[in-house]
Every structure is written in structure tokens, then in C-alpha cells.
Amino acid sequence: MNGMTFEQLMEQYFFSNSVRPATEWSYRKVVRTFQRFTRQLPDEIDNRLVLEWRRYVLTELKLEACTWNNKVTHMRALFNFGMKNGILAHKENPFNKAVVRTGKKKKKTLSKAQVKTVYRLMDQHHERERLFAQSCAMSMRANACYPAWFWLAVLDTLSYTGMRQNQLLHVRLCDVNLEERWIDVISEGSKNHREFRVPITSVLYPRLEIVLERSFAAGAEPEAQLFNVGRFDLRRKSQPASEERNVEMGIYPIRAFFRRISRECRFAVSPHRFRHTVATNLMKSPDRNIQAVKRLLGHSSLRSTLEYIDEDIDSLRDILEQELGR
């Protein structure tokens, strides 16, 4: 089909595959970056142009190899779909053999000191929130860290369950059972489309209870999204009750929160770093159980779980001391 645009190709791909909103967003983002490099239509793309884009991404933009490979995966899927359905005239996918080798990097975890720093900072925000609760200074969210009690609940959930960001966004009020102390992680938010259950620890319980109580008090229904900062935004409360209450929180408030925290802490903090940290810390315990870690993270294979576990340099040092230090 000559003259087909990338937008038309994506629309047909999304319709045929019924992809999630987050997946659709990632495809559109990758295609936009490619269109900033070239205005060629899909039928006009060849392997040489792809390799030129690769050189631009890796040498000019200086992006990581894994970032480039992610772009290739998305674009290759679109072209495979177009070729299979006779939409594109290519005989061979121009994105084949375009990936680059990536070295195995150290996993991005947070040290105990860094976790303490994050919580100490949020406790300071929480204290300011408490002191100025009746003040006009707190009548609007001062920055992405407010309301602090809400974001502390988010941090606790990430710290004690190892959830992915998308899984966190898909937790509904009805998915939390405080009496039996578990959270259902539904398939819509899971990368592998699996549904599983994670326990609520005694440390996590209090802040989850607060979010539930305040959500119901704000008029949220059981099927509503649990972690929705807009529900507690005083700026929205001042507006007429309408569609605002039903708007679900997306990834942008979470990104804004972690950008702010990272800037104030002066080191990178993200949901996925908490996930890696949970897995690594569990494997440091004397009763380490990789099957338990696999179940907590909702992985379908042990290989995926092992990718999340960072090297325990302290344990390795102890072994060397014992075996080689005699």
C-alpha cells in the first residue's frame, strides 16, 4: 500500500493486536524519534537508513545500546506486521540484524544508606505538611512530593512488594485485603500478563490503610484506582465535582515525583531500582529462597528473577576471607 504513513501502520497494528495503552504509548514514542531523524514513509525505509539512524542514536545522541535495541524491537514488530499483512512491500525487514551487543551491567539498586536518605527527605516533607496543614501555604501542592503521606505510601509499596510501576498504577481499592493482608496484582498491569498475589507486611500495612480510608472518604468506588494523587489534590477539590474525580493517575505524576526526589537526594531513585533492591536484599538473607523471590516479583521463569539480583559483594568478601584468608 504505497503512501502509507507510520500513523496508519501503527493504527492497524494496535487494532489487530489490541495492545495496552502503555504499550501503544511506547510504540508512538519510538516512531516519533525515528520521524525526527527522517521523514521517509515506511515503504521507503531500507537497511542503510536504519544503520544511519543507529549511528546517529549511538554516536550523536550517545544513547545506551539497550535503548537502541528497544527501538529496534518496536520498529521491527511494526514492519513484520506490515509485511505479513501485505501492507508493506518489503521482502526483508530493514530492522533485521540492526541490534547491537550489550554488556552485562551492574544492576541498579539502592543501598541501605540511600533508602534511608529517601525516607528521611520524605519525612521532612511530611513534617512540613503537618505543620502547615491549616496554612494557605499548603492549599496547593507545593511540588511533586506532595501530599507527602501519599508518596510515602507509594514508596512503602515499592519497598515491600517489589511491584513494577505499571502494576502499582493498576492496583484497585478492591485488590487490597487488609484483613488477610494481601494485594492482588492484576494481569492488566503485569508485563507477562500474569495475575498473582503479594503479602502486606506489618510495615506496609499502616500507610496502605490510610490510603484506603482517605480514598473511600473522598468518594472512590471499590473498582477505582488505589494510587491516584489527583484524588487528594486540593486544586481539584476546589473545582466542580465532575469528570475530574474519575480521571486515573498516569505515569507522569510518578515520574515527576521520582525526578524531584532524585534531584533532592542527589542520586537516581526510581520504581525499578526499588524492585531490584527488594530482590537483591531477599537473596542476601540466610534463608535465601529464589523461588520466593520469583513468586514475589511475578516472574514466569527463574532466569528472569536472576536478572534482577545484584551481586552481593559483602557475601563474596566473607567467602574469600573464610576460604582464602587462612
pLDDT in tens, the chain (326 residues): 458 999 999 999 999 998 888 889 999 999 999 999 999 999 999 999 999 999 999 999 999 998 999 999 999 999 999 999 999 999 999 999 999 988 766 678 899 999 999 999 999 999 988 887 655 444 445 589 999 999 999 999 999 999 999 999 999 999 999 999 999 998 887 776 788 899 999 999 999 999 999 999 999 999 999 999 999 875 555 454 444 556 889 889 999 999 999 999 999 999 999 998 988 888 877 666 788 888 888 887 888 777 777 666 666 667 666 766 65
The side-by-side arrangement of strands in the sheet containing 176-177 is 176-177, 182-185, 196-199
Q: Which of 66, 84, 102 is the last residue of a domain?
A: 84
Under 8 Å CB-to-CB from 140, ≥6 apart: which residues? 234, 235
pLDDT score of 140 = 47
User: Where is the domain boundary, 267, 299, 315?
Assistant: 267
Q: What cell numbers appear for 135 in the block?
A: 496554612
- Structural domain contains residue 244: yes
Cα distances (angstroms) measured from residue 225 to each of 56, 210, 220, 311: 41, 15, 8, 36
Question: Looking at the structure, do residues 256 and 159 belong to the same domain, yes or no?
Answer: yes
Rounded to whole angstroms, the Cα distance separating 3 from 195 reads 42
Phi, psi of 289 (to 5 degrees): -140, 100
- d(CA 131, CA 255) in angstroms, rounded, equals 27
pLDDT score at 1: 46
Which amino acid is it at 47? Answer: N
Are 80 and 117 part of one and the same domain?
no
Whole-number pLDDT of residue 319: 62
| Structure confidence at residue 213 (pLDDT) | 97
Domain edge (last residue) among 217, 252, 267: 267
> Percent of the chain at pLDDT above 70?
84
- Its domain, for residue 246, covers 112-267
Q: Sign of the CA dihedral 281, 284, 289, 294? A: positive
Q: Flag whether 184 is in a domain.
A: yes
Q: Answer yes or no: do 204 and 134 share one domain.
A: yes
> Are 77 and 117 in a shared domain?
no
Q: How far is CA 294 from the centre of its chain?
A: 18
Q: Please state, in angstroms and as integers, the Cα–Cα distance from residue 204 to each residue in 153, 178, 209, following that order.
A: 8, 10, 9
157 and 57 share a domain? no
Tell me, yes or no, whether 119 and 248 share the same domain. yes
Shared domain check, 261 and 158: yes
Sign of CA dihedral 54, 58, 60, 62: positive
Q: What is the total count of domains within the chain?
A: 2
In a domain, 196, yes or no: yes
